[in-house]
A and B are shown apart, each in its own frame.
Chain A
Amino acid sequence: MTALLELRGVTKVFSGGFFSRVPPLYALEDVSFSIPEDRPSITAIAGESGSGKTTLARILLGILSPTQGEVLYRGKPVSQMAGAERKQFRREIQPIFQDPFESYNPFYKVDHVLTTPARNFKIGRNRAEVNSKIEEALHAVGLQPEETLGRFPHQLSGGQRQRVMVARALLLRPRIILADEPVSMVDASLRATILDSVYTLNRQHGISVVYITHDLTTAYQISDNIIVLYRGSVTEAGSVETVIKKPQHPYTQLLVQSIPLPDPEKLWGELAARGDEHDGTIGGCKFASRCPHVLDICRSSRPVLYQIEQHRVASCFRYRDSPALAEGDITTVFASPAVEARA
């Protein structure tokens, strides 16, 4: 298995500077995973605010560089890339951001977000070729070019704007699309169409997707595998069928139990864990202070990732009898993308 994009032991620390009295913040701690080249998949990165998911996204895009560890693209450290190589990296990994309003300059027509990258990356030899590629990309995300082009951003709905962003990403024929909360600011009735176009990018155009979200329901719906982060560390990872259907880490269990299911017959039970604040435990498991199953060992040492079953790892001492994950690359337990046809 060759890795297209690989994170090796990535740690990101934000500190207030030499004279700062604020303790350094570990936004990410020792995260390793990779996106394989040969089978395009959808990987969800899930977590609450403060879990480090946006820091991870920025590191994957090369906007931030890790404090420790490496990001490799096609086996080469991204930090050492320059010139044409860096440009190719920039082209092959494309972002879709959260806010469909702020991604646009209101003074320009929406065409601008499509023609600018088309020009920068020279996707066509002449204007006619560029235009036909733009139209093709818009069709691929379910938009009619004649209803979209030539308009200003405020004349489109949030859902349409976000789909233009998906089309923009697709236009550059990237290898990886990184979608950071693409539907959290869009109405529920329009979410489905955006997620559907992201899903299509993967299944029909062979683009790997990293789907960053706080919403486990949509993560379950579109992803093959999931990585759950809590305060910068991976708590549980594996195929969505194992992790979301039968969570084993107490934090993932709490998350899944807290999902407001749209079913009045399945109400939330009593809450097992308490407090929405962490006490800044140093040394032990980060979740120990909130964990309903906390053991003595949890307060003194940090659990590693244990492989509980074929497609699941969890960093929890309840599973310390299972083998520790060698190398720490979570991807080894990921399930291959299912080639199921959606009913």
Chain B
Amino acid sequence: MTRRRTGTLAVEDLKVYYDTPEGVVKAVDGVSFVLKPGERLALVGESGSGKSTLAMALMRLTRAPGRIAGGRVLLDDVDLLRLNTQDMRNHRLRDIALIPQGAMNSLNPVMRTGDQIIDGIVDHVGDDGQQPSKTALREKVRSLLERVGLAPQVARMFPHELSGGMKQRVAMAIAISLDPLVIVADEPTSALDVIVQRQIMQTLGQLQEGLVASVVLIGHDMGLVAQFAHKVGVMYAGKLVELADVRQIFRDPLHPYTRLLIQSLPNLESKKKFLGIPGLPPTLLHLPQGCAFHPRCPAVIKGQCDSVPPVWGEIRRGQLVACHLYTETKS
């Protein structure tokens, strides 16, 4: 490999809009973050907050009626959004790889798993011009399966012969087959049992550390996020509302939405009163004026939150928030 392998991912003001007959839906609206090699960022939010749309946009897999309406996705100073289709194909899997949502259903049911792993590798050999031999490929599949904790025989099997956890591991083997710099994992364990979920997440963690890759984990399970991530970004109605170190988010969240989210988590320490977040997530077609969270916010400032959108800024060291509660104290 002759490529430089640093791999800092910088997302700047990313916007993904959906054109619908009723109007433009701003599913991702001005999201920015930087992810260094070896870091694990989790993006959390309710359904409809735009987290999966964001994951697909990072891979440049947004499909109509969705479109990337603006911003940059920089990987080592290469803007993935400006590449032509062929160049983007080369970057996908080799530099930025996806473990899709419901990875178990993303495998081809009529193809042996080994052939599916080879598929991606063969598609990328154009880069250094050499076609690996059949034995080299077979050896590669064996070692990839071993790295995700599967026996070599799995290569000869069809997806229906595997359990959910094993299929998820095959999807991981495909994702890491070209040693990517960034792994985007979209709810990788959403349909799995707790024990299998733990095994999968721990395997993903080991793979990521081995590759010194960064991971963008899309999820809604705060428990999983606490166990896996280094940094957490909280999304609400298409925007990041808070981004901080995982310990900081759980110990001292700043945004009222994050606070309610953390408080609503049940624990095993003591039985407590069930706290939910009052109200409902807004429909993205008709977002409230000002801060999108203000109709549900217990700390709403009348005349400000309902008219002026809050500014995204670093309130404490390494803790970015978009909320009027903090911009006020600063000014």
Contact = CB atoms under 8 A, between A and B. Distances in A.
A218 B266 contact: yes
A199 B260 CA distance: 21
Contact of B262 (A159, A259, A262, A271): A262
A159 B201 CA distance: 28
A48 interface: yes
Interface in A103-160: 157-160
B157 to A, nearest CB: 13
B198 A217 contact: no
Contact of A259 (B199, B223, B273, B281): B223
B163 A277 contact: yes
Interface string A185-218: 0011111110110010000000000000010111
Contacts of B13: none
Nearest to B261: A189
B199 A245 contact: no
A258 B198 contact: yes
Interface string A242-275: 0011000000001110111111110110010100
A261 B268 contact: yes
A254 B195 contact: yes
Interface in A272-312: 273, 276-277
Contacts of B224: 260
B150 to A, nearest CB: 11
Contacts of A49: 164, 193
Contact of A267 (B163, B227, B262, B273): B227
Contacts of A260: 194, 197-198, 201, 221, 223-224, 226-227
A15 interface: no
A199 B274 contact: yes
A268 to B, nearest CB: 6
A157 B266 contact: no
B268 A220 contact: yes
A216 to B, nearest CB: 8
A277 B46 CA distance: 32
Contacts of B273: 342-343
B258 to A, nearest CB: 11
B274 A255 contact: no
A255 B194 contact: yes
B47 interface: yes
A261 B275 contact: no
A102 interface: no
A221 B271 contact: yes
B264 A258 contact: no
B268 A189 contact: no
B222 A262 contact: yes
Interface residues on B, range: 35 or more
Contacts of B82: none
A270 B275 CA distance: 32
A192 B197 contact: no
A214 B223 contact: no
A64 to B, nearest CB: 23
B321 interface: no
A340 interface: yes
Given A244-B268, A276-B163, A268 B202 contact: yes
Contacts of B268: 216-217, 220, 244-245, 256, 259, 261
Given A255-B195, A261-B268, A268-B202, A187 B246 contact: no
B280 A261 contact: no
B233 to A, nearest CB: 15
Contacts of B100: none
Nearest to A190: B276
A157 B280 CA distance: 8
B267 interface: yes
A160 B192 CA distance: 26
Interface in A216-232: 216-218, 220-221
A214 B261 contact: no
A199 B274 CA distance: 10
B60 interface: no
Given A260-B227, A261-B268, A263-B250, A214 B193 contact: yes
Contact of A262 (B165, B267, B274, B277): B267
A81 to B, nearest CB: 35
A262 B272 CA distance: 15
A261 B226 contact: yes
B274 A196 contact: yes
B247 interface: yes
Contacts of B140: none
Contacts of B198: 258, 260, 268, 271
Contacts of B261: 188-189
B220 interface: yes
Interface string B242-266: 0000110010000000001110111
Nearest to B296: A189
Contacts of B164: 49
A268 B274 contact: no
A49 B262 CA distance: 28
Nearest to B247: A264
Contacts of A261: 223, 226-227, 267-268
B297 interface: no
Contacts of B163: 276-277
Interface in A152-196: 157-160, 187-193, 195-196
Nearest to B229: A264
Interface of B: 46-47, 163-166, 193-199, 201-202, 220-227, 246-247, 250, 260-262, 264-268, 271-277, 280-281
30 contacts: A48-B195, A157-B280, A158-B47, A187-B46, A187-B220, A188-B46, A188-B222, A189-B46, A190-B276, A191-B276, A193-B274, A196-B276, A214-B193, A216-B194, A217-B223, A218-B266, A220-B266, A220-B268, A221-B271, A258-B194, A261-B226, A261-B268, A262-B267, A264-B246, A265-B247, A268-B202, A276-B193, A276-B199, A342-B271, A342-B273
**Shortest 10 CB-CB distances between A and B: which pairs?**
A260-B223, A192-B276, A48-B193, A192-B274, A189-B277, A196-B274, A193-B276, A258-B198, A262-B265, A258-B194
